[in-house]
Amino acid sequence: MITGNIVTDFCLLILFLPVVAFAINIFIGKRLPRQGDWVSVGAILITLVLSLSMLMNMFMNWDPNFSHEVQFSWIDLGAFKIELGFWVDNITIVMLVVVALISSTTHIFSLEYMKGDIRYSRYYAYLGLFTFSMNGIVLANNLISMYIFWELVGVSSYLLIGHWFEKHSAANAAKKAFLTNRVGDIGFFIGIMLMFTAIGSFNFQDLFSGISQGMISGQLLTLAGVGIFMGAVGKSSQFPLHIWLPDAMEGPTPVSALMHAATMVAAGVYLTVRLFPLFSPEALLIIAYVGGFTALFAATIAVTQNDIKKVLAYSTVSQLGYMILAVGVGNYIAAFFHLLTHAMFKACLFYGSGSVIHAMHHSLHELNDHDTDPQDMRNMGGFKSKMPITYWTMVIATLTISGVPFFSGFLSKDAILAGTLAFAQHYPQHFLLPLFGFGAAAITAFYMFRLIFMTFHGEVKMPKVFKGIHESPRAMTFPLILLSSLSFFIFYTLPYLNPFSDHGWFTELIQASDSVVKGNPTAGEIYEGIHHAHYPAMALSILVAGFGIGMSTLMYMKKKLSADIWSEKMGFLYKLSLNKYFIDENYNRFLYQPVLKLSRAIAFVDWDLYDKYFINGFGRVTKWLAFLTGRLDYEGLDQKLVDGVGRTTQGFGNQLKNVQTGRLQNYMLFALAGVIVILVMQTI
Amino acid sequence: MDSLTNYLFVSAALFCLGLYGVITRRNGVAVLMGVELILNSANINFLAFARFSGMNMAGHVYALFVIVLAAAEAAVALAIIINIFNNFKTINVDDVSQLRQ
Amino acid sequence: MVDLVFWIVVGVTIGSAVMVVQSKQLLYSAIALLFTFVGVAGLYIFLWADFIAAVQVVVYVGGILVLIVFGIMLTNKITSVNISHTSVQRGIGATVVLGILAGIGFMIINTPWYQVAATEPAQTTETIGRLLMMDYLLPFEVASLLLLGALIGATTLSRKED
């Protein structure tokens, strides 16, 4: 069609249709009927169809080594060349489907959720922009275009988090998200440039071949790897740059589902998955510890949170930590698998919470109650009877995230935990990593069921509000049903039907590549280790999940254990957890305030000292010089020279006046003198 | 020493002296005296040239006419001077100028 | 001998002329003028113009000089015997006049005068008379008219206004 290759054509369409929808909605959206939401929805559905057809193609060809790369030259100055292009792999195709699917469900969900919003068309435009940017990251084959789309995704996040920017908290949250991302991106850019300086190209394949040839190695390679990982730390909200994701919940819930659960935050994981071959063993170790620590750390905060969306946010941070941990221990295919399943069930959970919040909003609005927080779980309770579809889909998603067998989450979590066990078996000094993994799994199960019990079970906390609660309309329940049904194991183990196996189309079609860095185990070695640790991991994870669910049931459903007494007994820990370990406050005190103070001091020096004295001094000196020059000109030149000529002429005139004496004899004398002159002239 | 140039020198000297008197003297009568000197020098010239050009008598005739004119002119001039004296009470040529500022 | 007399006459003439123009006393100037006229008459005689010499003495000395003296007397206050006055611009005047003298002198010396030798005439008076009546009759008549005019003019001018 456009280019010769149908894969390239599809990729171009997938990439550019959403941004065309963005342009239309931004400029003329307000004037279109229904504010132009059908433009965006249409574009994204076409994108979904195209991605699904590519997926079908992948299944039909069943080629695990499928790889298609197309390049075009962007800057070519002879010595300096930058080429951009696509790299389509099986990983790419799966990721495209994930993005298209979650984006489509978000568009459909928003039809109801954002109905009547004051900036409806702009919201849909920004969704299109985001989809475009995300697809750009997915399709990129070189670090430069990935970086460009990385930043674009950050911009879309800023625009969407700050959708209701009249709320100060939303505007601040948007700023915080973007700036924290930028901090990570500094490291990313340093990493990119280190690679480029050593190897001379931005292209992934060139980088891999360059590293295997030894163009960059040792500490420099580790540094570059850690730099690139910093980008993932920022984007995927790992410790210590996790601070923006909970605040990003100020944005609309569908946005939270799309960006901060399924796709944008997964971009960091995607980056590490793509570039896995170029991380050195030291870099991978750092990655593993950061991921593992984040997983546990975020889980401990989620336990005490009362805002339904905050619980899900910290849960996302924790799950992302899982994925990063998996990459670190070498099992990056498992990380990608978890990314896939996490997208499904986390989006479903967010939609469910969106549905609950939507119902709360309506009810509070009817009662003219503007003080109660519609997102606080302590104001809910017993919603099960009023919102059955929401309830059941959320239960399915919660079972998935907790790692209960027969669900997809069990398979992916199991793969990750098996990887950590294998790694610890190989390097016993890193026993903390599986500890992080299993600990986080237990706590995850605990707080997720806490969420379900507090919201849907138990006694009704606010009866008046409860009366106005009702199930959400179809546009909102449809994505819930779709995604929760995708959370069953069957879709991932095909063509096999064993719910406990670690085989399936996924593991068959998406093969791990070897790391090109010397010192790393090969893909085959990693796979062997995982396979051996598979069953122990499975058993342990079921145990741990059961423990978590059990504790949660006791505390919140059966009320055998009292949450209040426990929180008092562990008062100090409870306070730390509830206040997210005071990290934001400490950042403010030790980072933000000193920088602000410094900038204020510098501004003082510049404004009150430099400008006032130095710059104004110049002005005053110039004024004084001008004054002197004026005086010189006026009195010196004008008066003396110019007037002087006049005065001299006047003097001459006065003297010459005396010639006209009026006496005849004088005139005769002059005549005679003239005669003499003539005589003299005649003789000479 | 009867050479033409001697007579011419004498007449030139008289002429210049007469000129000097005219331009220098403030009294009107003194100016008139200077004029007479000039006329006399012209006469000498006429006669000298008459003598040294083969005694051409035309020169004598001219000299006669000059004398006649000189007389007439002297008479009229003195009449004017007396009139001036009657009007201005002075014959200082500088003071009798009404045109001069 | 003749040369000596000639030079004495020239000296008298020039000397008297100098006295005329630079004397502070007016009457002294008049007397010096008298001597100048006489000296000039003497020069005429050296130039074989005896008739003109006589006319010179008669008209100039006897007529014009007397007129001048009358003029002096009538135009000055009688009471003061010393009729003196100063002259102006003497320095620059002298310079200019000397320059003119130098110029004329230069011309006299350098001009090749056309000269014809001559002998002393037997009688001049008759020749002059003949010329006046024949060749120069018209100027003669005009001169008489001129004299008439001068006479009338002088008389009119010195009339008292009635």
Give B-chain residues touching A664 at CB under 8 angstroms.
Answer: 93, 97
Nearest by Cα to A103 from A48, A26, A34: A48
Per domain, the residue ranges of chain A are 280-578, 585-674
CA distance A397 to A480: 9
Q: What is the 3-state secondary structure (H, E, C) of A10-67?
A: HHHHHHHHHHHHHHHHHHHHHHCHHHHHHHHHHHHHHHHHHHHHHHHHHHHHCCCCCE
B3 interfacial to chain C (CB closer than 8 Å): no
- Of the candidates B1, B40, B94, the beta carbon closest to that of C40 is on B40
Answer whether C59 sits within 8 Å of B37, measured CB to CB.
no
Of the segments A206-215, A257-266, B31-40, which one has the largest average pLDDT value?
Answer: B31-40
Answer whether A665 sits within 8 Å of B99, measured CB to CB.
no
Report the residue of chain C nearest A676, measured CA to CA: C100
Per domain, the residue ranges of chain B are 4-88
Answer whether C56 sits within 8 Å of B43, measured CB to CB.
yes
Does residue A612 surpass a pLDDT of 70? Answer: yes
Percent of chain A with pLDDT over 70: 95
CA distance A352 to A362: 16
Mean pLDDT in residue range B59-85: 92
Complex ipTM: 0.90
Residues 616-675 of A with CB under 8 A from C: 665-666, 669, 672-673, 675
Report residue C68's pLDDT band, with 50, 70 and 90 as the boundaries. Answer: very high
The CA-based angle A343-A51-A263, given to 5 degrees, is: 25
Please provide the average confidence, as pLDDT, over all residues in chain A: 84
- Of the candidates C49, C55, C88, the beta carbon closest to that of B26 is on C88
Fold for B4-88, please state it: Helix Hairpins (1.10.287)
CA distance A430 to A401: 26
Residues 86-105 of C with CB under 8 A from A: 88-89, 92-93, 96-97, 99-100, 103
Report residue C84's pLDDT band, with 50, 70 and 90 as the boundaries. Answer: low
Return the CATH number of C1-86, one of 3.40.190.10, 3.40.50.2300, 1.20.120.1200, 1.10.3720.10. 1.20.120.1200
Answer whether B17 sits within 8 Å of C17, measured CB to CB.
yes
CA distance A66 to C128: 157
A681 interfacial to chain B (CB closer than 8 Å): no
Q: Are A434 and A530 in contact (CB under 8 A)?
A: no
Q: Are A262 and A312 in contact (CB under 8 A)?
A: no
Does residue B43 surpass a pLDDT of 90? Answer: yes
User: What is the reported pLDDT for A414?
Assistant: 86
Q: Are A1 and A12 in contact (CB under 8 A)?
A: no
Answer whether C96 sits within 8 Å of A665, measured CB to CB.
no
Does residue A415 surpass a pLDDT of 80? Answer: yes
Phi, psi angle pair for B96, to nearest 5°: -90, 15
Lowest mean pLDDT segment, chosen from A126-140, A158-172, B85-99, C86-100: B85-99
Phi, psi angle pair for A404, to nearest 5°: -85, 135
Mean pLDDT in residue range A99-121: 88
pLDDT tens-digit series, residues A353-381: 988 888 888 888 888 777 777 788 777 87
CA distance A529 to A426: 8
Burial class (CB in 10 A: 0-12, 13-18, 19+), A32: middle
Burial class (CB in 10 A: 0-12, 13-18, 19+), A118: exposed
Answer whether C68 sits within 8 Å of B76, measured CB to CB.
no
State the first-to-last Cα distance of chain C, in angstroms, to the nearest integer.
61
User: What is the reported pLDDT for B63?
Assistant: 94
Give B-chain residues touching C9 at CB under 8 angstroms.
Answer: none
Answer whether C96 sits within 8 Å of A669, measured CB to CB.
yes
Q: Which chains touch C (3 or more CB pairs under 8 A)?
A: A, B
Does residue A490 surpass a pLDDT of 80? Answer: no
pLDDT tens-digit series, residues A82-98: 777 888 888 888 899 99
User: What is the reported pLDDT for C53?
Assistant: 95
User: What is the reported pLDDT for A497?
Assistant: 67
Mean pLDDT in residue range A489-510: 70
- Of the candidates C68, C119, C158, the beta carbon closest to that of B29 is on C68
CA distance A355 to A367: 19
C74 interfacial to chain B (CB closer than 8 Å): yes
Q: Are A493 and A501 in contact (CB under 8 A)?
A: yes
User: What is the reported pLDDT for A159?
Assistant: 92
Of the segments A181-185, A363-367, A454-458, A532-536, which one has the largest average pLDDT value?
Answer: A181-185
Report the residue of chain A nearest C91, measured CA to CA: A669
Answer whether A669 sits within 8 Å of B99, measured CB to CB.
no
Q: Are A189 and A147 in contact (CB under 8 A)?
A: yes
Q: What is the distance in angstroms between the Cα of C103 and the nearest Cα belonging to chain A?
A: 7
Answer whether B81 sits within 8 Å of C118, measured CB to CB.
no
Residues 57-76 of B with CB under 8 A from C: 57-58, 60-61, 63-65, 67-76
User: What is the reported pLDDT for B11?
Assistant: 96
Does residue C86 surpass a pLDDT of 70? Answer: no
Nearest by Cα to A240 from A591, A567, A683: A591
Mean pLDDT in residue range C116-125: 84
Residue whose tokens read 């068309």? A121
Of the segments A265-274, A566-575, B39-48, which one has the largest average pLDDT value?
Answer: B39-48
CA distance C83 to A549: 159
Evaluate the omega torsion of the peptide bond into residue A240 and state whether it is cis, within 30 degrees of 0. Answer: yes
